[in-house]
Amino acid sequence: MKKHVHQLATILLLLVSASSLQGQIGTSGQTPGSPIPATPLSIKQAVSIALQNNNSYRAAQQGRDAAKTKISQALSNYLPQLNFDETITRGNNPVYVFGSLLTQRQFGPENFNIVSLNRPDALDNFQAKLSLQQVIYDAGKIRGYVGQARLGEEIARKDVERTKQELIFRVVKAYTLHLLARSGQQVAEDAVKTAAAAQTRADSMFQSGMIVESDKLAAQVFRSRMEEALLQARNQVALSMAALNFELGLPVDSPVEVSSDLTEARFDAPPETSLFQQALEQRPDYLQTLLMKDIAKKGVTVARSEFLPQAGFFGSWESDTQTLTQRGGNNWIVGAQVHINLFHGRGDQARLEEAKANLERSTSMSQYMSSAVKLQVKQASLDLETSRQRLDVTQSAIAQAEESLRITLNRYGAGLTTITDLLRAQTDLTQARTAHLQALFDHRIAKANLELASGTLNENSEVVNP
C-alpha cells in the first residue's frame, strides 16, 4: 500500500518538471515597465506580445541593423578619400627651413647666404593641406568586401527569422506548460477530494467495526500525501506562469491569466519527403550555412587580389604660411600609382591558404547541417505520430481506471477487498489522468517542434491557432 501511495505522490510532484521551468527563468529578457496585457490571454496574443517585448528577439533585430551598415562601409571604398590636415611645425633644420621658405614663397636672395643656409634661424610653418586618393583598379578586392557585407546582412536577417521561430516555440511551450500545470493542479485537487472521501468512509467503517485501525490510518496517510502533492502542484502553476512571463518579456510576477485549457487537439504530419524539402528551402539556420559558404568564396577572391596589380591616382593642395593670418604660398600635385606585390614574406600566401581552408570548412558545415536538419525533421515527425497514438492509449486507460475504481469501491463497501486495493485503484486513475495530460502536452509540443525543425513555424501556424 505504501508503495502505491508513494507512486501517486511522485506522479503529482513530477507533473510539471521544475527543472525545465527553472531553465527558462533568468534575469534577462524582461523589459521594466512593459505593459501587462489584458487578460485572459490566448496563445496567439502571447506570441504577439513576446515578439514586441522579448529582448533576445530585439537583439537579433539590432544585429541585423548593424550588419546592414557594413554594406555602406564596404561601398565607401569605391569613393574618393578626401582629407584635410592643418599642421603647425617649428624648427631650424636646414632642409626644413629651406623647403618651408620655398613653399611659403618667402625665399629671397639673402637666403643663399652660406651661414644662413647652414645655420638658419628657427622657422614656423602653418600648413593647410587637402589630399585626395581614388582607387582605379584593385583586382576585385572592394567588390569582394561588398559581397561579403551583403551576405553578412542576409545572414543577420536569417538570424532574426530563426530567433523569431525559436521564440514562438518557447512561448508555445511555456504557455502549454502552464496549461499542463493548471490541469495537473485540478487532478491533484480531485485526488485530495477522493482521498478525503476514502478517509471519511474508512472512519465510518472503523467505527462500525468493519475494518481494523491500520486501514483507517492508511487512509489518513494517503490523504496527507495527496494534500502535500496539491501544494506542489500549486507551486508548479506559479512557476510555469513566471516562465511564461519571462518569454513574454514581462516581469516574472506579472498577474497574467491565460484563456484556454489543455484540451485535446490532433495534428497530422505531412510526408517526410515534403518536410525535408521545406526544411532545406526555408530553415534559416541551414540557409545561413550556405551564405557562410558564399562569404568564404568571397574571402578567397579578396585574398587572391593581393597578388594582382592595383592602381589608383592621388592629388593634393596645400598652403604654407609663417603665421595663421599671413599670406603665403600654395601648391598642388597630382599623380598616379601602380602597386605590384612582389614579396611580403609569404604572409599573403598564408592568408590565401586560410581563405581556402575556410571555404572547405564552410562546405563541410553546410553538408553536415543538411544531414542534421533531415535527422531533426524525421525525429520530430516520429515524435508527433507517437504522441498522437498515445492520446488514444491514455484516453482508453482513463476509462479502464474509472471502471476499475467503481468496481473496487463496490467491493470495498461490501467488505470483499482491502483498503490497499482501493487506494491502488485510486492511484491508477490519477496516474491515467496525469498520463493523458502529459500526452496532450507532448502532442502539441511535438507539432510545434516539427514546424520548427522544418522552418515553417510562425504566428499563423496551426499550433499557435488551435
- From CA 394, how far away is CA 392, in angstroms rounded? 6
Average pLDDT taken over every residue of the chain:
87
Domain 2-86+139-308+346-454: top CATH class: mainly alpha
Range name among 71-75, 227-231, 361-365 with the lowest pLDDT average: 227-231
Confidence of residue 6 (pLDDT cuts 50, 70, 90): very low
Q: pLDDT band at residue 211, thresholds of 50, 70 and 90?
A: confident
Q: What is the pLDDT of residue 346?
A: 87
Beta strands in 39-110 (DSSP E): 81-91
Q: Around 436, how many Cα atoms within 13 Å sit in the side-chain half-sphere?
A: 22
Q: How many CB atoms lie within 10 A of CB 26?
A: 10
In the structure, what pLDDT confidence band is assigned to residue 27 with cuts at 50, 70 and 90?
very low
Report DSSP state, residue 41.
Answer: B
Q: Per residue in 234-252, pLDDT tens?
A: 999 999 999 999 999 999 8
Residue 231 has pLDDT above 50, yes or no: yes
| Average pLDDT of the segment spanning 32-44 | 70
Dihedrals phi, psi of 20, to nearest 5 degrees:
-70, -35
Instruction: Kindly list the strands in the beta sheet with 81-91, ordered across the sheet, starting from the edge strand earlier in the chain.
Output: 81-91, 123-137, 310-321, 329-339
Q: Name the helix (H) or strand (E) containing 37.
A: none
With beta carbons less than 8 A apart as the criterion, state whether 18 and 240 touch: no
Cβ pair 428, 405 in contact under 8 A: yes
Residue percentage of the chain with pLDDT more than 70: 92
Residue type, 175: Y
Residue 148 predicted with pLDDT over 60? yes
- pLDDT score, position 23: 42
- Examine residue 40 and say whether the peptide bond preceding it is cis (omega within 30 degrees of 0): yes
Q: Which is more confident, 171 or 40?
A: 171
pLDDT, average across residues 32-46: 73
CA distance 245 to 278: 32
- Whether residue 39 has pLDDT greater than 90: no
* C-beta separation of 100 from 320 below 8 A: yes
The band of 144, judged by pLDDT with boundaries at 50, 70 and 90, is very high
* DSSP letters spanning 296-359: HHHHHHHHHHTTS-EEEEEEEEEEEESSSSS--EEEEEEEEEEE----STTHHHHHHHHHHHHH
Question: Cα dist. 43→49, 235, 451, 461 in Å?
Answer: 10, 22, 16, 11
Q: Which three cell numbers stand for residue 58?
A: 530585439
Q: Annotate 425-454 with b (16+ C-beta within 10 A) or e (fewer).
A: bbbbbbbbbbbbbbbbbbbbbbbbbbbbbb
What is the per-residue pLDDT for 210? 76
Q: What is the pLDDT of residue 20?
A: 41
pLDDT at 336: 93
Q: Categorize the per-residue pLDDT at 112 as very low, low, confident or very high, splitting at 50, 70 and 90.
A: confident
pLDDT for position 17: 39
Helix (H, G, I), strand (E, B) or coil at 113: coil
Query: Percent of the chain, pLDDT > 90?
Result: 58
Residue 35: which pLDDT band, with cuts at 50, 70 and 90? low
CB atoms under 10 Å from CB of 415, counted, come to 10
222's grid cell: 494517503
pLDDT in tens, 357-409: 999 999 999 999 999 999 999 999 999 999 999 999 999 999 999 999 899 88
**pLDDT at residue 34 greater than cutoff 60:** no
DSSP bridge partners of 137: 311
Q: How many CB atoms lie within 10 A of CB 464?
A: 22
Q: How far is CA 410 from CA 413, 418, 432, in A?
A: 5, 11, 21
Residue 430 grid coordinates: 490519477
C-alpha cell recorded at residue 68: 546592414
Weakest-pLDDT range from 13-17, 32-36, 61-65, 214-218: 13-17
C-alpha–C-alpha distance, residues 45 and 175, integer Å: 11
Distance CA 361, CA 353 (A): 12
What residues does each domain of the chain span?
Answer: 2-86+139-308+346-454
DSSP per residue over 160-175, as a string?
Answer: HHHHHHHHHHHHHHHH
Q: Is the pLDDT of residue 213 over 70?
A: yes
User: Residues 6 or more apart from 353 whose CB is under 8 A from it?
Assistant: none
- What's the confidence (pLDDT) of residue 298? 93
Least confidently predicted of 5-19, 38-52, 154-168, 422-436: 5-19
pLDDT tens, position by position, 422-460: 888 888 998 899 999 999 999 999 999 999 999 999 999
User: Would you give the DSSP letter of residue 23?
Assistant: T
Q: Which of 86-90, 267-271, 324-328, 423-427 has the lowest mean pLDDT?
A: 324-328
pLDDT for 10 beyond 50: no
How would residue 3 be classed by pLDDT, with cut points 50, 70 and 90?
very low
Q: Please determine, for residue 5, whether its predicted confidence score (pLDDT) is greater than 70.
A: no
C-alpha cell at 44: 496567439
Return the pLDDT at 37.
Answer: 64
What pLDDT is attached to residue 198? Answer: 82
